[in-house]
Amino acid sequence: MVTFSKFVFFKWVQFFNRNPKRLVGQLKYITIAFICLFLQSYSAFSQFIIHVQDWEGVSGSGNWIRDELPTNKWTRGTDNNGVLKGSKATYISNDDVTFGYNETISSEAYAYKDISFPSTGDFYVKFDWKCNAEPGFDYFKVFLVPTSTTLSETDLEVESLGFKVGLNEYSGQATFTETNYALSTDENNLVRGNTYRIVFLWVNDDNTSFGEPAAIDNIIVSDGDATQPLSGTYQIGKNSAGSQRFDSLMHATALLNMNGVSGNVNFELTDESFPIKTGDLPLRIEDFNSNPSSTVSNAEFILQPIQNGSITPTISGTKQGSIFLIDRANNITINGDNGGSLSKDLSIENNSVTMPVVIQLGSDIGSAVANENITIKNSTIYLNGITGTGLLISDYIDETAAGLFNTITISNNNFLGGEKAIDVIGDNGSANGSGLSIQNNSINDNINPQGLTGIEINGTDKVMDFVRESFPEWSRYHALQIREKKNKDGETEYAVT
């Protein structure tokens, strides 16, 4: 019995038997199509993050465990000599502060974390490192082993179900360099669907030091290569889909800071709820345009709900300090509209009762590093207490010190709770305070109707454009305060003009 499909196949073979050159041409097109489909399916996993650790949070965040027994041990520290990016890294220290070690006391020190690998994928382990110690005697190694493996160099080396990540040993490197290790086929088969422990082992003997010990920054475990600069639109959340996605907002911001950009970047939130662990706060957005890995210098970044008119996400956390820190960065927009008609669909909440901040724009006057071209719009900014500030413009480290900024727009937001809705701390230097626009915001509060300040502007030069702000009418409410700052001798340090 000849079916229709058999008949078509017969006619197809008969046609190409008489026209073999046409068959070769068709096969080329088919081959190209298969290659494109393969590359597309591979890129769908090109930036799926399993774990990221940049060490910028508090001790214990990310659930890394460090052996506390040896004299020379891994610590999460701020010694600039042991940090590549940001303000923290993990490095070997003999006093829990300084990047350095006591070469006269032998040590084995461990920093490790258990990683749950998906059942499918081709995995990479990436980290930045340096170690300029005595080769062969003072070094570090990296392993992926079952969680039952005993933590000793001997047992890690002989574990039949484990393997080394990258080099046999890491040493002889005076400046930070990157390792991006692709697991082999056999190694992928071992870890798929299992929980494996990544172990950073430091070893030194009790002889003369050769130089500096190990320092590690910016660890990424990913399905596919996750080291390329970011560009384009990324869906963020458990419901994210497509070829560029992150399941975690913390992962997404960390990779933006680590990898830099090669074009404009748009993060679109796909979930209703984004609770952030305290140890992962603040969510930093650093100067991605100045990142050494970036290939462009004037890219723009947008954080917003997915533009489908229906998602109303809430980003929440509990932190003394800020939920978001825009850290000496430019060209950033936080837009709360989900594609409707300027609706306020994004909420950002800080539930701390001790000096919370929702969004901080932090700059560095001493180094003349400003926040420029920042827009916060169409959002609800919520403090669940009677202290703190909704939006703070200040120094990036000292929240009470003056910041350096240009072209800041705060528009069409709801501010709820806290002591101050908007607090701008400026300096009347020639580069400061130009183009501050605060307009069409609703500043209302049913938590702290006594003593709330709507907008406070301290020492800001060339200010601003107030348009149609909505304030309540409580008796002890300061709708708007504009004032200068005095030094200890009563002289004006900076003033509003």
In single-letter form, the type of residue at position 178 comes to: E
Contact at 8 Å (CB) between 217 and 84? yes
Report which of residues 243 and 25 the model is more confident about: 243
Q: How would residue 60 be classed by pLDDT, with cut points 50, 70 and 90?
A: low
Q: pLDDT digit string (tens) for 161-213?
A: 999 999 999 999 999 999 999 999 999 999 999 999 999 999 999 887 668 99
Contact at 8 Å (CB) between 263 and 289? no
Which among 107, 102, 99 has a CA at the least distance from the CA of 70? Answer: 107
- How much is the pLDDT for 492? 46
For the cut 70, the answer to whether the pLDDT of residue 429 exceeds it is no
CA distance 421 to 382: 9
Q: pLDDT digit string (tens) for 214-273?
A: 999 999 999 999 999 999 999 999 998 888 889 899 999 999 999 999 999 999 999 999
Which among 441, 439, 490, 431 has a CA at the least distance from the CA of 470? Answer: 441
The pTM is what?
0.79
28 CB-near residues (< 8 Å, 6+ apart): none
Report which of residues 41 and 479 the model is more confident about: 479
Question: Taking the CB of residue 154, how many other CB atoms lie within 10 A of it?
Answer: 9
Q: Strands 107-116 and 442-443: what pairing?
A: unpaired
Q: pLDDT digit string (tens) for 358-403?
A: 999 998 877 778 889 999 999 999 998 888 999 999 988 888 888 8
| Length in residues, the chain | 497
Report which of residues 61 and 91 the model is more confident about: 91
Using only the alpha carbons of the chain, give its radius of gyration.
27
Across residues 71-89, what is the average pLDDT? 92
For the cut 60, the answer to whether the pLDDT of residue 296 exceeds it is yes
Q: How would residue 2 be classed by pLDDT, with cut points 50, 70 and 90?
A: very low
Across residues 454-458, what is the average pLDDT? 78
Q: How would residue 288 be classed by pLDDT, with cut points 50, 70 and 90?
A: very high
- How much is the pLDDT for 58? 61
- How much is the pLDDT for 475? 38
- How much is the pLDDT for 219? 95
Across residues 63-84, what is the average pLDDT? 90
List the single range of 180-184, 340-344, 447-451 with lowest mean pLDDT.
447-451
Which letter does DSSP use for residue 192 in this model? T
For the cut 50, the answer to whether the pLDDT of residue 68 exceeds it is yes
The H or E element containing residue 40 is helix 20-43
Report which of residues 78 and 369 the model is more confident about: 78
Across residues 287-300, what is the average pLDDT? 94
434 CB-near residues (< 8 Å, 6+ apart): 406, 407, 461, 462
- How much is the pLDDT for 25? 56
The H or E element containing residue 32 is helix 20-43
Structure tokens, 71: 């004299």
Contact at 8 Å (CB) between 154 and 209? no
Q: How would residue 435 be classed by pLDDT, with cut points 50, 70 and 90?
A: confident
CA distance 462 to 477: 26
321: left (phi over 0), alpha (psi -120 to 50) or beta: left
270 CB-near residues (< 8 Å, 6+ apart): 235, 236, 237, 238, 239, 240, 241, 306, 311
**Residue with token string 């400003």:** 370
Q: How would residue 342 be classed by pLDDT, with cut points 50, 70 and 90?
A: confident
- How much is the pLDDT for 34? 41
* Helical residues (DSSP H) of 238-316, grouped into ranges: 249-259
- How much is the pLDDT for 452? 65
CA distance 102 to 259: 34
- How much is the pLDDT for 17? 57
List the single range of 4-8, 118-122, 299-303, 482-486 with lowest mean pLDDT.
4-8
Which among 258, 288, 204 has a CA at the least distance from the CA of 47? Answer: 258
Tell me the three-class secondary structure of 473-493, residue by residue.
Answer: CCCCCEEEEEECEECCCCCEE
Contact at 8 Å (CB) between 67 and 104? no
495: left (phi over 0), alpha (psi -120 to 50) or beta: beta
For the cut 60, the answer to whether the pLDDT of residue 33 exceeds it is no
For the cut 50, the answer to whether the pLDDT of residue 125 exceeds it is yes
CA distance 184 to 190: 10
Which among 440, 431, 427, 434 has a CA at the least distance from the CA of 470? Answer: 440
Structure tokens, 483: 């004032």
CA distance 463 to 316: 31
- How much is the pLDDT for 365? 73
- How much is the pLDDT for 223? 92
- How much is the pLDDT for 170? 97
- How much is the pLDDT for 444? 73
Report which of residues 375 and 20 the model is more confident about: 375
- How much is the pLDDT for 465? 54
- How much is the pLDDT for 341? 72
- How much is the pLDDT for 9? 41
Chain centroid to Cα 273, Å, comes to 18
Which among 235, 229, 329 has a CA at the least distance from the CA of 282? Answer: 329
Q: How would residue 303 be classed by pLDDT, with cut points 50, 70 and 90?
A: very high
